[in-house]
Amino acid sequence: MHRNNGITNLIESHQIRNVSIWQAGGQDVITPYGMLRLQDLVTRAYAYLVSSNTTGAPLNYQSGFLFTRDTASTIGFVDNIINTISALIFPIALSLLFPVMLYGLVLEKEERLVQMMKMNGMKISNYWLVYFIFNFILCTITNIVFFLLGAFVLKTQFFLNTTPILLIIVAVGWSISQIGLAAFFQTFLSKSRSANIIGYVIAIWTMLISSTLCVGVYQTPSQFPGWLRAIPPCAFNRIFYLMLANCSDQDCYNYISEIND
């Protein structure tokens, strides 16, 4: 049975002539598309069977001709475009607090404010505690605004249908990671101006590289290498990519256990 992929009815069914067109679910369906779908299903089933018998590990792959979930053609097509772009844009947008944290730490060290506070009786443990609490609150406010805009302004499937628990875990984990990364990199920097530049370079370029690896090299259902998962920006980008890809190809994650990467 043909599944509306957001393209067939919108473009192809009105441009291809001299082919058999039939009705399915109230929509025009071109016969060659059904043939391609059948060929795709047979090929995937054969690859699964052969790999199971020879290697013991079933082979699952994504074909170049995909049918997305059943939605209205225009909405489904637009959602797929939004999710693809979001896999590149959202992680960068949520990473721009890192250079702000790094700049603040290096500036206080450059102006010797920490030494002055220590001379006045401040414990260094209290300094780092306040640093963590302040920046965590700042990250929390940013994440709340970001997700509220996505749910009530953009109204994309990713924000509306993904389980809130998973979104909260990812947001909190990435906030703590940014705070820790800023505290780590400030030990190697002494100038606030260089810290500002390096902070934005790290935040933007690591996310761009991670997004390229997820979308172009290790796209689902390929497994992400373990050594890349150990790098916080790559791990954050990967989980965001998996959530967006699942919303495009199937249904958004309803349970954390559904993530199998």
CA neighbor of 183 nearest in space, from 124, 141, 137, 230: 124
CA-to-CA distance for 20 and 6, rounded, in angstroms? Answer: 20
Q: How confident is the model at residue 59, as a pLDDT?
A: 61
| In the predicted structure, residue 183 carries a pLDDT above the cut 50 | yes
| In the predicted structure, residue 6 carries a pLDDT above the cut 50 | no
| In the predicted structure, residue 211 carries a pLDDT above the cut 80 | yes
Q: How confident is the model at residue 33, as a pLDDT?
A: 60
| In the predicted structure, residue 128 carries a pLDDT above the cut 80 | yes
Least trusted range by pLDDT, from 48-62, 92-106, 237-251:
48-62
CA neighbor of 78 nearest in space, from 17, 5, 20: 5
Tokens describing residue 241? 């990519």
Least trusted range by pLDDT, from 111-115, 140-144, 157-161, 232-236:
157-161
Using 50, 70 and 90 to split pLDDT, how confident is the model at 158? confident
CA neighbor of 4 nearest in space, from 35, 39, 34, 45: 34
CA-to-CA distance for 161 and 141, rounded, in angstroms? Answer: 21
Distances (CA, A) of 247 to 81, 122, 161, 222, 260: 12, 49, 8, 17, 15
Q: What is the 3-state secondary structure (H, E, C) of the chain?
A: CCCCCCCCCCCHHHCCCCCCEEEECCEEEEHHHHHHHHHHHHHHHHHHHHHHHHCCCCCCCCCCCCCCCCCCHHHHHHHHHHHHHHHHHHHHHCCCHHHHHHHHHHHHHHCCHHHHHHHCCCCHHHHHHHHHHHHHHHHHHHHHHHHHHHHHHHCCHHHHHCCHHHHHHHHHHHHHHHHHHHHHHHHHCCCHHHHHHHHHHHHHHHHHHHHHHHHHHCCCCCCCCHHHHCCHHHHHHHHHHHHHHHHHHCCCCCCHHHCCC
Q: How confident is the model at residue 30, as a pLDDT?
A: 55
Q: How confident is the model at residue 234, as a pLDDT?
A: 92
Name the residue ranges covered by the structural domains of the chain.
1-67, 74-258
Least trusted range by pLDDT, from 65-79, 93-107, 150-164, 208-222:
65-79
| In the predicted structure, residue 18 carries a pLDDT above the cut 50 | no
Task: Tell me the pTM.
Answer: 0.67
Residue 141: other Cβ atoms inside 10 A: 10
Residues 60-82: what's their mean pLDDT? 54
CA 79 to chain CA centroid, nearest Å: 15
84 vs 70, more confident: 84
160 vs 188, more confident: 188
Highest mean pLDDT among 31-45, 52-66, 111-125, 242-256: 111-125
